[in-house]
Amino acid sequence: MREIAFIKQNKEKWLEFEQVIFGKTKKNPDEIASLYIHLVNDLSYAQTYYPKSKTVVYLNHLASTIYQKIYKTRRHETNRVVYFFKTEVPLLVYQYRRYLIFAFAFFFLTVAIGALSAAYDDTFCRLILGDGYVNTTLENIKDGNPVAIYKSGSHLGGFIAITLNNLRVGAMCFVSGILGGFGTFYLALNNGVMLGSFQYFFYQHGVFWESVRGIWIHGSMEIFAIVIETAAGFILGASILFPRTYSRINSLMIGFKVSLKIFLATVPFTIAAGFLEGFITRYSIDMPHWLSVFIILSTLSAISFYFLIYPAIVNKKVYKDAAI
């Protein structure tokens, strides 16, 4: 499409954006978010086909201004927290979904590396997990309870300590993105390799299923959340490395806000995982198989739906509402 035709086709829509920016037209945050998504698509198209055009500069200005309106506006008719989890975060997750795809692909790759390394090197698990953990777990396997280590400590004390540690790990994955994403990359590599070698260790000693029944009661949400936090770190890193038409500082500011909000959305799941690990996992060896499987599938389904399926539903609804 020639640039003049592109401008003519979208001129009225862009004028509507200007009306919103200058306060001549009142719209609620959902409507503004809808406009923003349309505008980002136009900007992406213009950057691809008319990279040196003034149209790109114009659309970039509109997009950055509307972006600020979206995330500075507060809903008065609806609870802000509800709006944050119900609409704001899902739209961001959908917009930045390629980073989630990359984070999951990298996660599975590093887990495979960890498992293969443990399979071909008998000393690898001790190197990664430590002699203390390996020796203790070997004793637990002999005693018939491979995940007995989760019985140590009190319920409440374990829940608090585990949750704080998991929040710290997730925050590190996110914040390390400030190093151009390389800090997040390094932490994600360590986490994936550790998990792969960890699970292979149980497989090697013939208690893989027992470990899955116990560990993944809390691990499904805990690990999934860490992958999402890794994606948040990659978003932050990309905002520094690839500012596009923004100044690097403006790109960093946008990237930080987006990645922080995605990280905050993982916090309830991390807390829930800590609760399960502190209060439920310790009883996994005694509970019926169907119950442990049910808990694992339920928790995995809940977090998968929120971060992988629900964002597409919200995005589709926003586009549908914008078209009406």
- DSSP secondary structure string, 196-222? HHHHHHHHHTT-HHHHHHHHHHHHHHH
pLDDT tens readout for residues 14-30: 887 777 766 666 666 66
* Residue that wins the pLDDT comparison between 223 and 284: 223
pLDDT tens readout for residues 154-209: 888 889 999 999 999 999 999 999 999 999 999 999 999 999 999 999 999 999 99
DSSP character at residue 242: -
Q: Is the pLDDT of residue 324 over 50?
A: no
> In the prediction, which pLDDT does 192 show?
96
> In the prediction, which pLDDT does 27 show?
62
Nearest-10 crossing angle of helices 208-241, 289-304: 10
For the ranges 52-61, 134-143, 183-192, the lowest mean pLDDT is seen at 52-61
- CA 104, CA 228: separation in Å to the nearest integer? 8
> In the prediction, which pLDDT does 105 show?
98
Q: Is the pLDDT of residue 323 over 80?
A: no
Among candidates 297, 300, 320, 319, which has minimal Cα distance to 309? 300
What six digits make up the tokens of 47?
């950057």
What is the residue extent of each domain of the chain? 3-73, 96-310
Amino acid at the residue 202? F
Neighbours of 290 (CB within 10 A): 8
Binned at pLDDT 50, 70 and 90, residue 77 comes out as very low
Q: Is the pLDDT of residue 32 over 70?
A: no
Among candidates 121, 282, 106, 131, which has minimal Cα distance to 197? 121
Q: Is the pLDDT of residue 149 over 60?
A: yes
* Residue that wins the pLDDT comparison between 295 and 8: 295
* Residue that wins the pLDDT comparison between 262 and 29: 262
Sort residue 79 into left (φ over 0), alpha (ψ -120 to 50) or beta: beta
DSSP character at residue 22: T
> In the prediction, which pLDDT does 308 show?
96
Q: To the nearest whole number, what is the mean pLDDT of the chain? A: 86
> In the prediction, which pLDDT does 76 show?
44
Mean pLDDT along residues 25-42: 69
> In the prediction, which pLDDT does 197 show?
96
